């Protein structure tokens, strides 16, 4: 149901949508049934002149069954929801696939800083690319993200991914996602973090492999590019210095 209003841009978005659908349809069923029964009772047993109300104790077998049967059926529906919730939780939070790439997400009042691996493909090295309020991802690549906060609690939320993860000061929280749809989508902070909370938007930009690699190359300084004449010259100087 959610996919009609919000695209599915991550590999686990469909599972979360299915969980929402199960909850929505079960709630709609019981709401409709309860409302229909309520209206039936209102009109069927409405007051009539000369008719006295009957006092019901709820002690007869029929009266007890009228309460217990719906009660147990609703509990059964709760177990169905709970069981599927564990399945989705394991997929989204517990199972950590082997990543193709990593990204560091740093939240602060009131901006997002994203650190992408440079041309060496390794996060945490000299050629990392830092961007403000723009997260660049490669379509179909499996990512592990490292989320942290520099000040207060924030919440890293990408609605099209069906992803929401709190950022807690003093902790680095790991998670994963796999973008499956090219385009530009909203990132938001979903935790009240001060008077500038509403002015903390960001964008996630999902590109094809070719476009993403071109973006990485464009944003990597020349002296950090392994295949440039500048880098080769620097490497030769360093080698000559070591030999000397």
32-78 pLDDT tens trace: 999 999 999 888 888 778 777 777 777 888 888 888 999 999 999 99
Predicted confidence (pLDDT) at residue 160 exceeds the cutoff of 90: yes
% of the chain with per-residue pLDDT over 90: 68
What's the confidence (pLDDT) of residue 137?
96
Phi, psi of 205 (to 5 degrees): -115, 115
Listed in order, the ranges of the chain carrying CATH 2.60.40.420 are 101-221
State how far the Cα of 198 lies from the Cα of 213, in Å rounded to an integer. Answer: 33
Lowest mean pLDDT among 18-27, 48-57, 107-116, 182-191: 48-57
Return the biggest CA–CA distance within the chain: 116
Give the CATH number of domain 2-94; options: 1.10.3470, 3.30.420, 2.60.40, 1.10.287.
Answer: 1.10.287
Q: What average pLDDT score do residues 12-18 get?
A: 93
Residues 6+ apart with CB under 8 A from 154: 107, 108, 166, 167, 189, 191, 193, 200
Report yes or no: 205 and 181 within 8 Å, Cβ to Cβ: no
Least confident of 95-109, 140-154, 225-239: 225-239
**Whats the size of the chain, residue-wise?**
244
Strands (E) located in 125-193: 129-132, 134-138, 143-149, 154-158, 163-167, 173-177, 183-189
Residues spanned by CATH 1.10.287 within the chain? 2-94
The CATH homologous superfamily for domain 101-221 is Cupredoxins -  blue copper proteins (2.60.40.420)
pLDDT for res 229: 46
The answer to whether residue 133 scores a pLDDT higher than 50 is yes
Which residues have a Cβ under 8 Å from the Cβ of 97 and sit 6 or more positions away?
Answer: 142, 176, 178
Measure the CA–CA gap between 193 and 156, rounded to whole angstroms: 12
Mean of the per-residue pLDDT values for the chain? Answer: 89
Give the whole-angstrom CA distance, residue 126 versus residue 134: 20
User: What's the rounded mean pLDDT across residues 82-107?
Assistant: 94
Which of 97-101, 148-152, 192-196, 236-240 is the least confident region?
236-240
Please report the pLDDT score of residue 242 as a whole number.
63
**pLDDT score recorded for residue 162:** 95
């Amino acid at each position: 149901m959610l996919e009609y209003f919000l695209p599915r841009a991550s590999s686990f978005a469909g599972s979360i949508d299915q969980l929402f659908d199960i909850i929505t349809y079960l709630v709609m069923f019981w709401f409709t049934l309860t409302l229909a029964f309520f209206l039936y009772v209102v009109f069927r047993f409405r007051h009539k002149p000369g008719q006295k109300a009957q006092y019901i104790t709820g002690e007869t077998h029929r009266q007890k069954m009228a309460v217990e049967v719906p009660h147990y059926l609703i509990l059964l529906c709760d177990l169905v929801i709970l069981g599927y919730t564990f399945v989705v939780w394991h997929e989204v939070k517990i199972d950590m696939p082997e990543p193709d790439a990593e990204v560091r997400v740093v939240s602060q009042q009131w901006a997002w800083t994203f650190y992408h691996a440079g041309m060496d493909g390794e996060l945490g090295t000299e050629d990392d690319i830092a961007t403000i309020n723009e997260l660049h991802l490669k379509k179909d690549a499996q990512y592990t993200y490292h989320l942290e906060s520099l000040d207060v609690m924030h919440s890293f939320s990408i609605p099209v991914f069906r992803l929401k993860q709190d950022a807690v000061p003093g902790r680095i929280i790991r998670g994963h996602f796999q973008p499956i749809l090219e385009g530009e989508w909203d990132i938001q902070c979903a935790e009240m973090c001060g008077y500038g909370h509403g002015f903390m938007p960001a964008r996630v930009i999902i590109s094809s492999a070719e476009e993403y690699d071109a973006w990485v190359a464009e944003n990597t300084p020349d002296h950090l590019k392994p295949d440039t004449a500048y880098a080769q010259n620097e490497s030769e100087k360093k080698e000559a210095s070591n030999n000397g």
